[in-house]
Amino acid sequence: MNYIKRKERHRKNNNNDLKENNINSNSKRKIKNNDAIVKHSSDLEYLSKTVSDYSINRNTSLKQILSGMADSGGFEGRHLAYGIEILKKMIEEKNCTRFLSFVGALVSTGNRGIIRDMIKNRMFDCVITTCGALDHDIAKSFSSYYEGDFRLNDQFLLEKEIHRLGNILIPNNNYGPLIETKIQPILQEFYNINKSRLQSQSQSLGLAPSEILRFIGSHLNESSFLYWATKNDIPVIVPGIVDGAVGNQIWLFNQSHKDFKVDVLRDQTILSEMIFDAKMTGAFMMGGGLSKHHTLWWNQYRGGLDYAVYITTASEWDGSLSGAPVAEAISWGKVTTQAKQVTIHADVSTVLPFIYYGLVSK
Query: Catalytic site residues?
Result: 334
Residue 164 backbone phi and psi in degrees, to 5 = -115, 125
How many other CB atoms are found less than 10 A from the CB of residue 5?
A: 9
Torsion of CA 296, 89, 96, 104, to 10 degrees: 40
Upper half-sphere CA count for residue 46 (Cβ side, 13 Å): 6
Residues 296, 329: contact at Cβ < 8 Å?
yes
**Contact residues for 250 (Cβ-Cβ < 8 A; gap 6+):** 187, 212, 241, 242, 262
Summarize the chain as % helix, strand, coil (round to 5): 55, 15, 30
DSSP 3-state of 244: coil
What is the largest distance, in Å, between two alpha-carbon atoms of the chain? 78
Mention every residue, 6+ apart, whose C-beta is less than 8 A from residue 303. Answer: 7, 9, 10, 11, 13, 14, 333, 336
Go through the chain and tell me how many residues it has. 362
User: CA angle, 133 as apex, 128 and 137 as ends, to 5°?
Assistant: 120
Residue 260 preceded by cis peptide, ω within 30: no
**DSSP one-letter code for 95:** T
CA gap 97, 91 in Å, rounded: 9
249's enclosing H/E stretch is helix 245-256
Strands 280-286, 96-102: pairing is parallel
CA distance to 171, 190, 238, 263, 308, per residue, from 242 (Å): 22, 18, 9, 12, 28
